[in-house]
């Protein structure tokens, strides 16, 4: 009998809401062409696209817990064009041309995910609702207007400015200030259902996923990587590290990213009266313009999910920081402040999960040391759709094909490393403190 992960159902409302039986773990040695470590959206999409490109490839996914255990089964389910932080930040860091390129990649990712859901009939409560970016202070409203103007100067289409009256008509909060960013080509979904639907598709294609199978060590040697797991060793020509916020646990990538936690609260299903007080007939995904944003949406059964407001940085070593009672309490207060009609709403769930942050908060995909090992990391809180397109990009890197995807500027880019040891954690702490200070100074929610 393989060990069965027992705590996954407590890791998010989504992961606990439907029955799930873990698949087999690896018992014995295995030889494959491509071993994929991690069964989140990155690993699952990579496996799907590799198998589609060459069905004769022997592929195996190794997952330390269960499919969707990481960020992919815990996120807020926004399929959106955000990539990295915001366009102005990307333009400052990489230049305007690359900021435009990044947006187009993310927009392509949203469309790809929508198409995959349709084509493969992935049952994940997908709704193509559009996305609203709102401001809750005059200062952030000014910044939001500048951001929309920049996007238009970059020649990007699909992002519209809607006036305040139109915003309030859609989602009614007394805290909203000024016009809003309105972007129709985005959606919301149930991420754990999506992860498990990927398992169904891969099971059908004969691509094995070994759950409860942590990779303990990776020995790299030309053309023959050896991955040690508790009950067997996998020998692979190529390895994909789709381990996201856990990636620093591999010594080869120890300083390239740090885990950062974001937290979510969920209400009971809203009554008709509570819903009427907000409007929200279009069920759009909403984010505010704070540095440490709030993100919120309705679920299929009309609960209000809100996450963000602060981040957790852990202790710079372990991964056990999924709970933050203090952040959850502040999020509950924020819901009541943003939507006074929900002052008596009851809350049913709270959870958190780690995202992967590089020092410049932008994704990075590439070869680790040799062309035999590919990594992907740094999607921060914006990976639901991009990870799906990243699966195609990683496919091309594994197959050593030069394509428009491998040409994208954040593939094989030079990453600024975090200082090693505790210093990396201290740097992340300083960045978070600055963002908290700015929000306290500039936003009514403090
Ligand atoms: C609370 C929260 C809210 C978010 N909201 C949104 C949102 O609304 N929209 C959006 O676009 N993005 C959001 N994100 C980010 C998004 O979820 C991630 O970018 C995306 O899911 C990352 O997918 P992934 O497959 O790369 O990583 P993950 O889903 O984290 O998968 C990594 C997997 O690797 C496994 N693993 C790690 N180490 C090993 C090992 N040694 N051996 C075997 N397996 C291992 C882990 O168990 C895990 O299952 C959110 C994230 C969080 C945490």
Residue from 42, 44, 60, 71 to probe ligand 1 pocket by mutation (most atoms less than 8 Å from CB): 71
Q: Counting atoms of ligand 1 from 1, which one is nearest the CA of 355? A: 53
314 lines ligand 1 (CB under 6 A): no
Q: Counting atoms of ligand 1 from 1, which one is nearest the CA of 377? A: 26
Supply the residue whose CA is at minimum distance from atom 14 of ligand 1: 381
The Cα angle at residue 102 between residues 116 and 284, in degrees rounded to 5: 55
Distance (Å, whole) CA 171 – CA 196: 32
Which residues fall within 8 angstroms of residue 103, CB to CB, at 6 or more apart?
Answer: 81, 83, 87, 151, 154, 156
Which residues fall within 8 angstroms of residue 169, CB to CB, at 6 or more apart?
Answer: 279
Instruction: Using alpha carbons, list the distances in angstroms from residue 152 to 114, 170, 189, 255.
Output: 25, 23, 28, 36
pLDDT of residue 421 exceeding 90: no
Domains of the chain: 8-74+191-254+360-415 (3.50.50.60), 131-184+258-357+428-442 (3.30.9.10)
Confidence of residue 82 (pLDDT cuts 50, 70, 90): very high
Residue 299 three-state SS: coil
Each residue's pLDDT tens digit, 304-359: 999 999 999 999 889 999 999 999 999 999 999 999 999 999 999 999 999 999 99
Structure tokens at 394: 């990683």
Q: What is the mean pLDDT of residues 155-181?
A: 98
pLDDT of residue 5 exceeding 70: no
Note the pLDDT of residue 3. Answer: 52
Q: DSSP code of 312?
A: B
For residue 108, the CA-to-ligand 1 centroid distance in Å is 20
Helix (H) or strand (E) holding 316: none
Q: What is the mean pLDDT of the chain?
A: 96
295: nearest Cα among 363, 380, 381, 379: 381
Supply the residue whose CA is at minimum distance from atom 2 of ligand 1: 75
Residue from 293, 381, 382, 394 to probe ligand 1 pocket by mutation (most atoms less than 8 Å from CB): 381
Each residue's pLDDT tens digit, 365-415: 999 989 999 999 999 999 999 999 999 999 999 999 999 999 999 999 999
Q: Counting atoms of ligand 1 from 1, which one is nearest the CA of 82? A: 11
64 lines ligand 1 (CB under 6 A): yes
13 lines ligand 1 (CB under 6 A): no
Each residue's pLDDT tens digit, 246-272: 999 999 999 999 999 999 999 999 999
For residue 343, the CA-to-ligand 1 centroid distance in Å is 32
Q: Find out whether 190 and 80 touch, Cβ atoms under 8 Å.
A: no
The Cα angle at residue 210 between residues 206 and 211, in degrees rounded to 5: 130
Distance (Å, whole) CA 118 – CA 126: 10
Q: Counting atoms of ligand 1 from 1, which one is nearest the CA of 250? A: 41
Distance (Å, whole) CA 17 – CA 422: 38
Instruction: Tell me which of 209-218, 233-242, 290-299, 417-426 is least confident.
Output: 417-426
Q: How many CB atoms lie within 10 A of CB 272?
A: 8
For residue 430, the CA-to-ligand 1 centroid distance in Å is 24
Q: Find out whether 236 and 35 touch, Cβ atoms under 8 Å.
A: yes
Note the pLDDT of residue 424. Answer: 82
Supply the residue whose CA is at minimum distance from atom 37 of ligand 1: 243
Q: Counting atoms of ligand 1 from 1, which one is nearest the CA of 77? A: 8
Note the pLDDT of residue 317. Answer: 85
Residue from 2, 44, 244 to probe ligand 1 pocket by mutation (most atoms less than 8 Å from CB): 244
Distance (Å, whole) CA 383 – CA 400: 24
DSSP-assigned beta bridge partners for residue 162: 180
Percent of the chain residues past pLDDT 70, beyond the cut: 99
Residue 33 three-state SS: strand
229 lines ligand 1 (CB under 6 A): no
Compute the CA torsion angle 438, 383, 312, 142 (nearest 10 deg). Answer: 10
Q: Counting atoms of ligand 1 from 1, which one is nearest the CA of 213? A: 43
For residue 75, the CA-to-ligand 1 centroid distance in Å is 8
Distance (Å, whole) CA 85 – CA 415: 16
Q: Find out whether 69 and 209 touch, Cβ atoms under 8 Å.
A: no
How does 128-163 read in b/e, with b if 16+ C-beta sit within 10 Å?
ebbbbbbbbbeebbeebbebbebbeebebeebbbee
43 lines ligand 1 (CB under 6 A): yes
Residue 252 three-state SS: helix
Q: Find out whether 181 and 132 touch, Cβ atoms under 8 Å.
A: yes
Distance (Å, whole) CA 6 – CA 375: 28
186 lines ligand 1 (CB under 6 A): no
Each residue's pLDDT tens digit, 188-228: 999 999 999 999 999 999 999 999 999 999 998 877 899 99
């Amino acid at each position: 009998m393989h060990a069965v992960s027992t705590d996954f159902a407590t890791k998010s409302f989504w992961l606990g809401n439907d029955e799930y039986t873990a698949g087999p773990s690896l018992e014995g040695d295995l030889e494959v062409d491509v071993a994929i470590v991690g069964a989140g959206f990155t690993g699952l999409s990579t496996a799907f696209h590799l198998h589609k490109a060459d069905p004769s490839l022997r592929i195996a996914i190794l997952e330390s817990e269960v499919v969707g255990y990481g960020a992919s089964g815990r996120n807020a389910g926004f399929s959106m064009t955000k990539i990295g932080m915001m366009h102005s930040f990307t333009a400052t860091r990489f230049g305007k041309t690359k900021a435009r390129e990044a947006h187009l990649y993310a927009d392509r990712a949203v469309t790809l995910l929508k198409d995959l859901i349709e084509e493969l009939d992935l049952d994940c409560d997908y709704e193509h609702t559009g996305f609203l970016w709102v401001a809750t202070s005059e200062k952030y409203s000014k910044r939001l207007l500048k951001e929309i103007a920049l996007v238009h100067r970059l020649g990007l289409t699909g992002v519209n400015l809607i006036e305040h009256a139109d915003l309030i008509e859609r989602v009614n909060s007394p805290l909203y200030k000024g016009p809003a960013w309105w972007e129709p080509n985005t959606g919301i979904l149930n991420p754990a259902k999506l992860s498990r639907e990927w398992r169904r598709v891969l099971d059908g294609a004969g691509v094995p996923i070994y759950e409860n199978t942590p990779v303990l060590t990776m020995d790299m040697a030309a053309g023959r990587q050896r991955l040690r797991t508790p009950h067997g060793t996998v020998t692979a020509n190529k390895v994909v590290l789709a381990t996201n916020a856990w990636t620093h646990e591999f010594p080869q990538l120890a300083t390239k990213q740090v885990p950062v936690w974001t937290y979510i609260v969920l209400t009971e299903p809203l009554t008709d009266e509570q819903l009427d007080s907000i409007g929200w007939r279009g069920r759009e995904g909403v984010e505010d313009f704070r540095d440490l944003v709030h993100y919120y949406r309705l679920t299929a059964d009309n609960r209000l999910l809100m996450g963000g407001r602060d981040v957790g940085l852990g202790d710079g070593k372990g991964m056990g920081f999924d709970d933050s009672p203090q952040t959850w309490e502040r999020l509950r207060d924020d819901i009541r402040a943003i939507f006074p009609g929900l002052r008596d709403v009851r809350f049913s769930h709270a959870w958190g999960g780690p995202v992967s942050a590089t020092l410049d908060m932008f994704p990075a995909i590439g070869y680790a040391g040799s062309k035999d090992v590919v990594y992907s990391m740094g999607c921060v809180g914006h990976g639901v759709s991009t990870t799906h397109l990243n699966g195609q990009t990683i496919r091309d890197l594994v197959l050593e094909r030069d394509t428009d995807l491998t040409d994208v500027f954040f593939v094989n880019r030079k990453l600024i490393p975090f200082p090693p040891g505790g210093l990396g954690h201290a740097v992340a702490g300083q960045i978070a403190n600055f963002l908290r200070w700015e929000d306290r100074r500039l936003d009514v929610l403090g």
